[in-house]
Amino acid sequence: MTLLSLYATQAVDTNADAERGAVMNEVIDQVNAEYPPARLASPSATERAEIQERVTVLVANAFRRRTMRPGPQYETALGEEITRRLLGLGFLDLLLPPVRTDISEIAVYSSGLLQIMRKGAVRFDNVDLHPDAGEIWRVLDRVLGPQNKTLNEANPVVYAKLPATEHNPGGGRITALHPTIAPPGKNPAINLRLFEQKPVLPEWLIERGALSAEMMADLQLAMQSGKRILVCGGTRTGKTTLLSAMCNFLPEGWRIVKIEDPEEIWINRQTVQSFEARPKAIGTEVAAVTLADGVKVAMRLSPDFLIVGEARSGEALEALFSAMTTGHSGASTFHAESPRDTVERVITEMGMHSQARPAEIQRTFASAIDLHVQIGIRYDKRRIISIMNVAKELKDGKVFFEPIWKYDEDSPLETPRWNRVGKLKQVWQEES
């Protein structure tokens, strides 16, 4: 029996739960009494091994006092679980590196259901783990506490970071909902998106059939020539992953300023300066720092290339387009299902923010963006749907897209095809 299956079996057996709970509480109380809180909060590798050994002894003693002998495998598994609760992230440690390295997203439902999404997939799968509400709250407290955040009825939605660690250097992004707004209210609902633990390599996307090698070569040329690029797609289509892969093509020595909310793109360069937005701290006078603020700061840092995490608001779009139309090269992601949808959504967002007229916004878009890359999902696989030049002149008062690559919607799942229907404009500076 594996540790994972043993954990799941214990969680659904009510008799085992009662005994397990009593032993766990006794051991946790004893460890808390023996070790100072600061040591338990951030133990060294040596201290962790020492505490793990002590927990193993205390578990065995607790069962002996109850004249119970569940066996060394059960006792070892329970000792490891207690150690995770005391020193780590409880049930999450069974799903995070180094135990699992194939997961991109974890979802805990308020009903108690737990699901994962594997890397490269677009759907969730159930996991036979059943953490109780108490453990879920403990894990949240351990993550949120150091960030001075609290999930409660007054603050029922919390956005937080999963800190990077030695085994999970990419960290992650957490969204948590309080039971009062997440029926049936059995426990908090959590979504945890894990970021890549290392730079995304372009060949990974080619191998997974997201695009062809020829298309990637065009994107390489676009990045190296400093084009201004917008990567668009729907939820979970892989916009950030694609942009991360494209960042490998930025020339060595370029000063890159990266603005995100939160930081998730990992570029393996020394010449990268990151800027991370933050929300207003609840109950304090600490002001929010937005993506738009980051773009304005970045323009004073003399970057060769700007990278902006998903521009969600009119304010962020206005700052981004202002940078792009004043000579800055860069790339960003945006939530839109098609090139035309991109323009319509930009008009809506910027119009609400600045009251600018649609015609004005269309001219700004055409001036600011050189290349539009659309990514979507076909047959439950991520595919680049199109790569298009953005014409600098409007046609009939609208942004005009000049296709370079188009996905063949009739191509089978196993052998996706793309058709070249145009060429990448290389000398965009002379045309703008």
* Predicted local confidence at residue 11, as pLDDT: 45
Q: For 407-430, what is the mean pLDDT? A: 85
Q: Which two tokens stand for residue 154?
A: 């007054």
* Predicted local confidence at residue 376, as pLDDT: 97
**β-pairing, 371-378 with 228-233?**
parallel
* Packing angle, helices 239-246 and 213-224, rounded to 10: 70
Beta strands in 240-365 (DSSP E): 256-260, 272-276, 305-308, 330-335
Asked if pLDDT for residue 432 goes beyond 50, the answer is no
* Predicted local confidence at residue 404, as pLDDT: 98
Length of the chain: 432
* Predicted local confidence at residue 48, as pLDDT: 84
* Predicted local confidence at residue 422, as pLDDT: 96
Asked if pLDDT for residue 9 goes beyond 50, the answer is no
Asked if pLDDT for residue 301 goes beyond 70, the answer is yes
What's the pLDDT band for 252 if we cut at 50, 70, 90? very high
* Predicted local confidence at residue 216, as pLDDT: 98
Q: For 230-235, what is the mean pLDDT? A: 96
> Considering just the CA atoms, what is the radius of gyration of the chain in Å?
25
Asked if pLDDT for residue 321 goes beyond 80, the answer is yes
Asked if pLDDT for residue 319 goes beyond 80, the answer is yes
What's the pLDDT band for 44 if we cut at 50, 70, 90? confident
CB 288 within 8 A of CB 280: yes
* Predicted local confidence at residue 16, as pLDDT: 60
* Predicted local confidence at residue 176, as pLDDT: 95
Q: Where are the alpha helices (DSSP H) in 35-132?
A: 37-41, 45-65, 72-87
∠ CA 418-221-315, rounded to 5°: 90
Residue 232 vs residue 69, higher pLDDT: 232
CB 265 within 8 A of CB 247: yes
Q: For 329-336, what is the mean pLDDT? A: 96
The span from the CA of 242 to the CA of 202, in Å, is 8
Nearest alpha carbon to residue 384 among 184, 247, 212: 212
H or E stretch at 18 = helix 14-34
Residue with tokens 């659904």: 12
Q: Which two tokens stand for residue 228?
A: 């201004």
* Predicted local confidence at residue 19, as pLDDT: 79
* Predicted local confidence at residue 283, as pLDDT: 65
Q: For 159-165, what is the mean pLDDT? A: 87
Number of other CB atoms surrounding residue 173 within 10 Å: 18
Asked if pLDDT for residue 215 goes beyond 90, the answer is yes
